Amino acid sequence: MELLTEIEPQIAAGTLTLDSRTPSGPIEKAWDKTKFEMKLVNPANKRKYTVIVVGSGLAGGSAAATMAELGYNVKCFCFQDSPRRAHSIAAQGGINAAKNYQNDGDSVYRLFYDTVKGGDFRAREANVYRLAQISVNIIDQCVAQGVPFAREYGGTLSNRSFGGAQVSRTFYARGQTGQQLLLGAYQALERQVDQGRVTMFPRHEMLDLVVIDGKARGIITRDLVTGAIESHVADAVVLGTGGYGNVYFLSTNAKGSNCTAIWRAYKRGAAFGNPCFTQIHPTCIPVSGDYQSKLTLMSESLRNDGRIWVPLNKGDKRKPGEIPESERDYYLERRYPSFGNLVPRDVASRNAKAVCDEGRGVGESGLGVYLDFGDAIKRLGQKTIEERYGNLFEMYARITDENPYKVPMRIYPAIHYTMGGLWVDYQLQSTIPGLFVIGEANFSDHGANRLGASALMQGLSDGYFVIPYTIGNYLASNKLEKVESTHEEFRAAQDGVAEKTRRLLDTKGTRTVDSFHRELGKIMWDDCGMSRTAAGLQDAIGRIRKLREEYWRDVKVLGSGKEINQSLEKAGRVADFFELGELMCIDALHRAESCGGHFREEYQTPDGEAKRDDDNFSYVAAWQYNGDGSPLLNKEPLTFDYVHPSQRSYK
């Protein structure tokens, strides 16, 4: 393992040409210009094309529905029993849009600016601008579908503010915005199922991508009920399979969320962008025991009315109500007077960790800070607070057995979102022609840190308003030979999947899949989590490799592959998490700077903020699979013609 101590010089340059296809000219016109220049598919010909969409969340569901509306023949796959279960459903707080309905100075440009700055200058400007432009159409579309957004008494749409912004541009449906937006997309999707233009494949998991003559031509799936391994042919493949936060075992992701689809695509040649950019959400319910299976998020919108504090003095174990005002430290309000409790997520999370590391954390474990609604209840009354956050308060009470109307909530940061993902160009195409990646699954528009209420916006923007255009351009510009599922590439891929399944079942070791997953998660959280060091990352890479080797020698998966077998499903996903975890550490190690959610302890300003190195790291790291050798590094340089990089300041 001596190579680990000097990994950086070992990184070899990749062989990919990363053409971002960013249009030239003024950014305001870029998307219009692209749309005009793209080739179109004649309406009568659209039904002759088959498009596979993997994933049925906000991105996948809206993409599948919209492409079917246009006339394409769509096959949509999800591992859940119904497309309505996709994890987008759990998003709580809201969706941003530059509507300026509040007349408070918002604009497309301001949303663009906030997102580029919030992302700590590691996103592609043109993509972010387009996202901000499209944001307004998303709200219109969702309202028309019947999404019951919060309203004012006059019947107009209501807004609230969110972290990282000084305007109120967040639309919401109580604390269930993701659910309502997803149901809108799901209903649009079911309408297309009704019309026979979408064939739904629930309880199917994508286990490989098939590339023929350099183009994505289909996928291999496992039917999770019968265990059948099947080939599906298409003219293009769209992945909307979400993020990979579950590499940490404990995260706010749903238990089934996994990286398998994007990881198999990576191994087939799709570059992986910025894998180490993960988001730690500041407001989650703290861990309570080692049996814990997941972490529960409390919407960031709570920071609108809740005040975050810890005791001023170390080791103060009094009950929160017994600590007088003068002995409380409202550390965010103190350090960031202009943004206060509404600083971006990465800043809020790091500060929580810092005060806990100082020994001022609260709760039994000492890993928690108070989120206090006392003042807000006094100011607005309990009824208003109940209306705004009722379901969140109920959820908190159910889990912790404490009443947040009476005692402050305890919160602690947790893994929540992954900004990294498969690299895509402006048209959302990966480095494999015909393979498109949308939503959280791509390396996305959020740079090194995503602002609250922007994930829903990006998923729906990609699905409703970007991919329906760019897929047509691809299909119209490429001559695609007819391919059958009996093609040798499909057969080989199918055999590969069957072999891997067999290997997992035949290992018959002594440790369960979950025990390995927990151990991997702990390594990742300790060394590739909220703060990172070169030494820790090097050590983590070594331990992951060792653990992965043990996994393939000692994992215990019962049952067969010919039936419903949840352990087998998990086993395949965890096998991929091992490989992705290692790549995340390599990426985090190579990026010798701090930016957004990627905080390297070696690189910080005197007052503890992330210190970027724009001279050396203003690029997207697009990793290329290299067989059993070390991954190769390709760089897409980032230029900022509009929002000029500066040290982010929320003071």
Partner 1 sequence: MRLTFHIWRQPNRTSSGKMVRYESSNFNPDMSMLEALDVLNEELILRNEDPITFEHDCREGICGSCGFMINGLAHGPLPKTTVCQLTLRHFRDGEELFLEPWRAKAFPVLRDLMVDRSAFDRIISSGGYISVPAGSACDGNDILVPKPYSDRAMDAAACIGCGACVAACPNASASLFTGAKVSHLGLLPQGQPERNQRALRMVAQMNAEGFGQCTNIGECEAVCPKGIRLEVISRMNGDFIKASWSNRGQQSVSDGV
140 part of the interface to partner 1, by CB under 8 A: yes
Backbone angles phi, psi at 207, to 5 degrees: -120, -5
* 4, 11, 143, 367: which one binds partner 1 (CB under 8 A): 143
Name the burial class of residue 488, with classes exposed (0-12), middle (13-18) and buried (19+) by CB atoms within 10 angstroms of its CB: exposed
Q: How far is the CB of 254 from partner 1 (least distance, A)?
A: 4
Backbone angles phi, psi at 315, to 5 degrees: 70, 15
Q: Which is nearer to partner 1, 514 or 614 (CB)?
A: 514
Question: DSSP string spanning 150-165?
Answer: -B-TTSPBP-B--TT-
Q: How far is the CB of 650 from partner 1 (least distance, A)?
A: 29
Spatial CA neighbour of 297 closest among 389, 359, 364: 389
Q: Which is nearer to partner 1, 120 or 190 (CB)?
A: 190
151 part of the interface to partner 1, by CB under 8 A: yes
Q: Which is nearer to partner 1, 194 or 488 (CB)?
A: 194
* 145, 166, 507, 604: which one binds partner 1 (CB under 8 A): 145
Spatial CA neighbour of 414 closest among 265, 541, 292, 552: 292
Return the range that interacts with partner 1 (CB under 8 A); candidates 110-118, 144-152, 436-444, 614-622.
144-152
Residue 570 near residue 517 (C-beta atoms within 8 A): yes
292 part of the interface to partner 1, by CB under 8 A: yes
Q: Which is nearer to partner 1, 384 or 566 (CB)?
A: 566
* 9, 43, 105, 154: which one binds partner 1 (CB under 8 A): 154
| Cα–Cα distance for residue pair 332/1, rounded to 1 Å | 42
Binding mask 75-94 for partner 1 (x = CB under 8 A): -----xxxxxx-x-xx----
What is each CA distance from 117 to 110, 114, 344, 621, in whole angstroms? Answer: 10, 5, 10, 19
Return the range that interacts with partner 1 (CB under 8 A); candidates 169-177, 233-241, 595-603, 606-614.
169-177
- The β-bridge relationship of strands 409-418 and 369-372 is antiparallel
Restricting to residues 118-137, name those near partner 1 by CB under 8 A. 137
Query: Residue 215: which H helix or E strand, with range?
Result: strand 215-223
Q: Which is nearer to partner 1, 198 or 586 (CB)?
A: 198
Residue 237 near residue 294 (C-beta atoms within 8 A): no
Query: Residue 478: which H helix or E strand, with range?
Result: none
| Cα–Cα distance for residue pair 438/238, rounded to 1 Å | 7
Restricting to residues 543-572, name those near partner 1 by CB under 8 A. 556, 558-559, 563-564, 566-567
Handedness of CA 578, 454, 206, 257 (dihedral sign): positive
173 part of the interface to partner 1, by CB under 8 A: yes
384 part of the interface to partner 1, by CB under 8 A: no
149 part of the interface to partner 1, by CB under 8 A: yes
| Cα–Cα distance for residue pair 372/362, rounded to 1 Å | 13
Q: Which is nearer to partner 1, 154 or 606 (CB)?
A: 154
Give the interface size with partner 1 as a residue count (CB under 8 A): 80
Q: How far is the CB of 393 from partner 1 (least distance, A)?
A: 13
Restricting to residues 456-485, name those near partner 1 by CB under 8 A. 464-465, 468
Return the range that interacts with partner 1 (CB under 8 A); candidates 147-155, 338-346, 530-538, 640-648.
147-155
Name the burial class of residue 214, with classes exposed (0-12), middle (13-18) and buried (19+) by CB atoms within 10 angstroms of its CB: exposed
Q: Which is nearer to partner 1, 111 or 540 (CB)?
A: 111
Question: 436: which strand partners?
Answer: 238, 429
Q: How far is the CB of 152 from partner 1 (least distance, A)?
A: 7
Q: Which is nearer to partner 1, 50 or 296 (CB)?
A: 296
Restricting to residues 562-621, name those near partner 1 by CB under 8 A. 563-564, 566-567
Return the range that interacts with partner 1 (CB under 8 A); candidates 192-200, 230-238, 259-267, 419-427.
192-200
* 211, 254, 348, 505: which one binds partner 1 (CB under 8 A): 254
For 480: left if phi > 0, alpha if psi spans -120 to 50, otherwise beta; the answer is beta
**How many C-alpha atoms does 214 have within 13 Å on its Cβ side?**
4
43 part of the interface to partner 1, by CB under 8 A: no
* 338, 382, 477, 515: which one binds partner 1 (CB under 8 A): 515
395 part of the interface to partner 1, by CB under 8 A: yes
Query: Residue 218: which H helix or E strand, with range?
Result: strand 215-223
